[in-house]
Amino acid sequence: MEKIKSLIGRRRFLIAGGAASTLALTGKAQAAEHTAVSGCANQPATIKGLTVEKPERPPYKWTERTLREMTAPAGQSSAGGAGAAAGASFPGAASALAPAKATPAIYIGDGRHLAEKSQANAVSAGNVQDRFAKDTKISAVSADIGGVYATGMGTEYILADANIELSGDSTGLGGPNSGAAVDDHATLIIKNCTITTNGQNRNATSAQNYSTLKVYNSTLKANGIPFTPDFTKGGVSPGQKTQMEVDGNCRGHVTLSNSSSYFYYSTIIAGGWGALSTDISDGFVYLEANHCTVKTITSGYGTYADPGCHGVFNHCDLDVAAMAAIIAGEGDVTFNDTKAKCASYLALIHNISAATSVGTLKVTGGEISTGKAAIRVKSANAEIVLDGAKIRTANGVLLESMVTVDPNAAKSAHPNEPVYGIHATLKNMDLEGDIVHTADKENRGMTIYLEATTLKGAIKDASLKMNRLSKWYATKDSNVTLIGDVDISQIDAPAGVTITAIAGEAGTHKLASCGTLVVKRA
C-alpha cells in the first residue's frame, strides 16, 4: 500500500510540473505517462529556443514575364510565330492562349444573337433569343464548330437546360471552340446544362478577357483523347509531364485573363490533364466552386492556380487521378470543408515566375487522403496553412520539399538574394506523418508552426515553433531548430529515437517515452 501511495504521489508531482502531455486523454499518452513514472524523463525543464522573426512576405508584383515567355522554345518569339505555334497544342502552355477560330453554333455579341456568325445547322432544338437560350441541343463533330459563344460588354446571357456535345481535336485555350465560352467583358450564366467535349484541347467551358461565368446544377465533361504514359498526342513532352506530374490533353474548364468563374452544385470532369484550370491571369483571375464534384479520370489535377490566379473550393468533393491542386508561383488555392481523394498529392507547389514569388495553400476543415505525400514543394517558396483538417497519407509523409527538374523554374538574378522559404502552420489538429526538407534546404528554409496541434512523425532539417497547446512525438530520428521557448513535456519520442535540436542552450534530456533529446547551442 505504501508503494502504491508513493507512485500516486510521484505521478501528481510530474503532472504539476508539466510532464503530462496535451495527449493525456489518449491511450498512447497514458502509456507515455506510465513510462515517465518509471523514471525515463528528466525533471521538468524549459528549453530556450532561438528568437527568430518570421520574414515579411515579399509584395507580389505582376510581371509581363509570364508563361507565354517561359514556354516558348529557345530562340523563338513568345509573342507569336513559331514560338506560339509550337506551344499551341500543349494543354499547359501559355503560348496556347490564342483560341482556335471555330464558328460557334450560337454566337451572342453585345447582347444580340448574331445568326450570320452562328453555325445554325449544329442546333437541332431549343429556343434561342438575344438574352437567353432554353432547351437547346447542339452537336458537332468538327473542330471548326463550337457551342455557345457570348462576347462583348453588352452581353449578359442565360443558357438553360441545354445539351451540348462537341467532338474534334482543337488547339489553344478557351474561345469559341469550347462547349460554352464567355469573352470580352461579357457574362454567361449556365443553368441545368450538360456539356460534353471529345478531343484534345476541347474545353467544356471557358472564360477570358474580363468576363464572368456562372454555372449552376450542371455537368461539364471534357473527355480528351486516349493517351499513354509514353505518348500523348498534342505535343506534351515527356519533360513537361514529368515536371507537372500529370498527363492528358484536355481541361474541363479554364479561366484566363482577368476573368472570374463560379460553379454551384455542379460536376466537372476531365479525362486527363485538369478539371478546373486557370492560365495567364494578366494580373488577376478568380475561380470558385461551391458544393461541386470535381474529378479527373486517368490522370490530372482538380485545379491549377497560375501566378495571379486565386482558386476557392467550398464544401466540394474531389476525386482526382493525381493531385487536387497545382500552385505555380504567386498563385493560391483555398479548400474549405472539402473532401479530397488524391492519387498523388493534395497539392504540388512549384515556381515558374519570379524567384521571390510565394505560392499559398489554405485548408480549413475537410477530409484529405493522398496516395503520396500530402504536399510536395518543388524549388518554391510557400505559405501553407492547415486548420482542423483530417489528413491521411499512404506513404506517411505530410510535407516534403524537392529540387525541381523544370528548366523553366524561377531563378534569382542575384545569388545572395534572400528568399521567403517554406512556412507551414498546422492548427487545431492531430496529425500523423513526416515533414522532410532534406532535398531543397540549401536554397530555402522550412519552418513549421504548431498551434493547438499534436504532430506524430519525424521532422528533418526544419525549424519548429510550438505554442503551449501543442505537442510533437517524433517517431524517427529527427533534427530541428527550435524557435521560442519549449517545455520539454511538449516533445516526446520512443526509446531508440534521438531528436537533435539547435537552440539557445545545450543539454541532453531523456524524454517521457524514453527517447533522447540532444540540444546543441546555436
pLDDT by residue (tens digit) across 134-182?
999 999 999 999 999 999 999 999 999 999 999 999 888 889 999 999 9
- Assign 85 to helix, strand or coil: helix
**Are 317 and 290 within 8 A, CB to CB?**
no
What is the mean predicted confidence (pLDDT) over 490-507? Answer: 97
Per-residue confidence band for 59, with pLDDT thresholds at 50, 70 and 90: confident
Q: Quick one: pLDDT at residue 354? A: 81
Position 172 scores a pLDDT of 83
The mean pLDDT value for 101-113 works out to: 96
175: Cα separation from own chain's centroid: 26
Helix or strand run (H / E) with residue 5: helix 2-16
* pLDDT tens-place string over residues 263-282: 999 999 999 999 999 999 99
434 or 26, which is more confident: 434
Interstrand relation of 358-364 and 332-336 (parallel, antiparallel or unpaired): parallel
**Across 353-358, average pLDDT:** 86
| pLDDT reading at 333 higher than 50 | yes
What's residue 408's pLDDT?
A: 67
Report the candidate in 196, 194, 251, 197 with the shortest Cα–Cα distance to residue 217. Answer: 194
Contact 519/498 with Cβ under 8 angstroms?
no
Q: How high is the pLDDT of residue 440?
A: 87
pLDDT tens across 457-473, in order? 999 999 999 999 999 99
Q: How confident is the model at residue 8 (pLDDT cuts 50, 70, 90)?
A: very low
Query: What pLDDT, on a 0 to 100 scale, did the predictor assign at position 50?
Result: 94
Angle at 114 between CA 110 and CA 117, to 5 degrees: 115
Q: What is the pTM of this model?
A: 0.86
* Whether pLDDT at 75 is above 50: no
Q: What is the CA radius of gyration of the chain?
A: 27
Residue 225 has pLDDT above 80, yes or no: yes
Per-residue model confidence (pLDDT) at position 64: 46
Amino acid 232 reads: T
**What is the DSSP secondary structure assignment for residue 72, as one 8-state letter?**
S
Kindly tell me if the per-residue pLDDT of 230 is higher than 80.
Answer: no
Q: Please give the pLDDT value at position 414.
A: 67
Q: Determine the Cα–Cα distance for residues 171 and 99; give it in Å rounded to an integer.
A: 7
- DSSP letters, 141-156, are -STTEEEEEEESTT-E
Q: CB-based contacts of 205: which residues, under 8 Å, 6+ apart?
A: 178, 179, 180, 181, 190, 195, 213, 215, 220, 252, 253, 261
Of the candidates 170, 214, 224, 177, the residue with the CA atom closest to the CA atom of residue 193:
214
State the average pLDDT over residues 61-68: 51
Q: pLDDT category, 98, cuts 50, 70, 90?
A: low
**The three grid cell numbers given for residue 338, joined into one nine-digit string:** 472539402
> Is residue 125 scored above 50 in pLDDT?
yes
Q: How far apart are CA 22 and CA 174, in angstroms?
A: 52
63: confidence class by pLDDT, cuts 50, 70, 90: low
